[in-house]
Chains A and B, each alone.
Chain A
Amino acid sequence: QKEVEQNSGPLSVPEGAIASLNCTYSDRGSQSFFWYRQYSGKSPELIMFIYSNGDKEDGRFTAQLNKASQYVSLLIRDSQPSDSATYLCAVTDKLIFGTGTRLQVFP
């Protein structure tokens, strides 16, 4: 079992919809989680981090963490074609990244 797992996708959503990206992790002791976005041919860029159970909102993005179930998710509201990218989940206290989920937002 990989330490951080993500569905590779692609996840296709229409413009204006909510995109839901999920990530599970195996180490129950993991404490901090980041979401990065990576456009094709570019390096990852930070979206947000979370380390407390519950929701954390930043603009159109909401990160959700459930330590009991060992999953972290990212919701993107009002999805735009410019959100089309690969989204990487990372367990940063161990510097482990998932393989990413490719999101496609179509007009």
Chain B
Amino acid sequence: KAGVTQTPRYLIKTRGQQVTLSCSPISGHRSVSWYQQTPGQGLQFLFEYFSETQRNKGNFPGRFSGRQFSNSRSEMNVSTLELGDSALYLCASSLPRTSGGGLPSTDTQYFGPGTRLTVL
């Protein structure tokens, strides 16, 4: 089974530009989460999509947005890029995250290779 794929793998942009990153989850996975990873802050949650709906959102400004398509592929967009947006952006897919019923979520997240974004 093919893993999570992300495109592009590397991207260089300048301040003020916008960027769109793409993620294709593992076949059959319907939940896609996005993370930003930087040396100082570690892995920070951006948002999670399930069945084309945003289910959770992290603490990032509105310049960061995302969407999910009917085939579970997801895109994230960053507008008006800032130098501090330079990071590794990781996408992770999982089977539908269980919630409710008093059961803890044990859905494994499988990460893609990431997109390395550099803002100059």
Contacts and interface: CB of A to CB of B under 8 A. Distances in A.
Interface of A: 31-32, 34, 42-46, 49, 51, 88, 92-93, 95-100
Contacts of B104: 31-32, 51, 93
Given A95-B45, A97-B42, A45 B111 contact: yes
Given A44-B90, A97-B42, A92 B105 contact: yes
B42 A43 contact: no
Given A92-B105, A95-B48, A43 B43 contact: no
Contact of A44 (B43, B44, B58, B106): B43
A95 B56 contact: yes
Interface in B32-53: 33, 35, 41-45, 48
B23 to A, nearest CB: 12
Contact of B33 (A32, A42, A46, A95): A95
A63 to B, nearest CB: 13
A32 B42 contact: no
28 contacts: A31-B104, A32-B105, A34-B108, A43-B111, A43-B112, A43-B114, A44-B111, A45-B111, A49-B106, A51-B106, A88-B43, A92-B107, A93-B99, A93-B105, A95-B33, A95-B45, A95-B48, A95-B56, A95-B58, A97-B35, A97-B43, A97-B44, A98-B42, A99-B41, A99-B42, A99-B43, A100-B42, A100-B43
Given A43-B90, A95-B45, A100-B42, A31 B111 contact: no
A92 B109 contact: yes
Contacts of A98: 42
Interface residues of B, number: 23
Contact of A49 (B56, B90, B108, B114): B108
A32 B44 CA distance: 18
B110 interface: yes
Nearest to A96: B45
B113 A43 contact: yes
Contacts of B33: 95
A46 B42 contact: no
Contacts of B107: 92
